[in-house]
Amino acid sequence: MEVASDRTKPQVKEYMTRDVVTVAPDATVGDVATRIAESDEHSGFPVCERRRVEGFVSARDLLLADNDEPIFKVMTTDLLVAHPDMKVTDAARVILRSGIQKLPVVDDAGNLVGIISNADVIRSQIERATPEKVGKLMRTLEQIHDIELEQERRTVSLSALTPTQGRVYADELEGRRYELEHGLAEPLVVIDNAGTLLLADGHHRVLAADRLEIDEMDAYVIVIDETIDLGMARTAAKEELERIDDIDVVDYARHPLVQTTKRLQSDG
């Protein structure tokens, strides 16, 4: 059992799932196979004895085993685990290079304290990238309008948002829907222009959320105390965009990149 640790942030403990489903070493292959078959989320489980990690069992381990066989006879015992203080980027390298989807997280005593998945790693990188996007937009607005702005994180109602983009693409909309269903969607970027909430980034996410009957979303909000004449507000008014229902969904076949690719293929 190999453990890697690094105390530089962001750390595994910030993104790992703490409520981990486990199985006991003396559980039978048949019981665990049934649990995997009936689950939409689990293709394997950490094997623990009093919270101490003894191994990991996956669906592949069960394929040729007898239903009455105990799990400790078929489980993988030579496994990689992460420490809570390990860097998320290091955990990502382990997940990528090993081909595993989930990495058990253990404390110094070898006790299971969580599990980090490739989805958790993606989420950590999304959340780190978005603040820089917001900061760049803030600096641009401050320079153009010669003002000082503030940023805050809050939940916004989708019905209160004014879109600034008149169309989204159906293929990308499906991608954002998948992210929302799996908890991977990054926060929206919204400009609070003295009470008017302009959606600066996240139109595909908002429309996907609306189709999933989600009423509110997490957002980075740039706060402007006094109303200023913003270019994106003029765009919204010109295109008669007042609420998210006004956004058009364009079929995949009309996506500019697809059209460009088709032209390249025909020119070749």
Residue ranges in the chain whose pLDDT is less than 50? 3-8, 253-265
Long-range Cβ pairs for the range 5-8 (8 Å, 24+): 5/83, 5/85, 5/86, 6/85, 6/86, 6/87, 6/90, 7/85, 8/87
Same domain, 186 and 223: yes
> What is the pTM (predicted TM-score) of this model?
0.62
Same domain, 12 and 66: yes
Residue 258 lies in domain: 147-267
Domain CATH for 224: 3.90.1530.10
Same domain, 42 and 79: yes
Same domain, 183 and 257: yes
> For position 259, what pLDDT does the model report?
42
In a domain, 106, yes or no: yes
> For position 267, what pLDDT does the model report?
53
Q: Is there a contact between 14 and 40 (Cβ–Cβ < 8 Å)?
A: no
Q: How many domains does the chain have?
A: 2
> For position 1, what pLDDT does the model report?
56
In a domain, 135, yes or no: no
Tokens of 22: 């486990």
Same domain, 80 and 21: yes
Pairwise CA distance, residues 42 & 38, whole Å: 9
> For position 255, what pLDDT does the model report?
44
In a domain, 126, yes or no: no
Nearest residue to 146 via CA among 203, 210, 229, 79: 229
> For position 264, what pLDDT does the model report?
36
Same domain, 115 and 219: no
Domain CATH for 54: 3.10.580.10
Same domain, 161 and 249: yes
> For position 5, what pLDDT does the model report?
43
Return the C-alpha torsion angle 241, 138, 135, 158, nearest 10. Answer: -30
In a domain, 128, yes or no: no
Same domain, 151 and 107: no
> For position 178, what pLDDT does the model report?
85
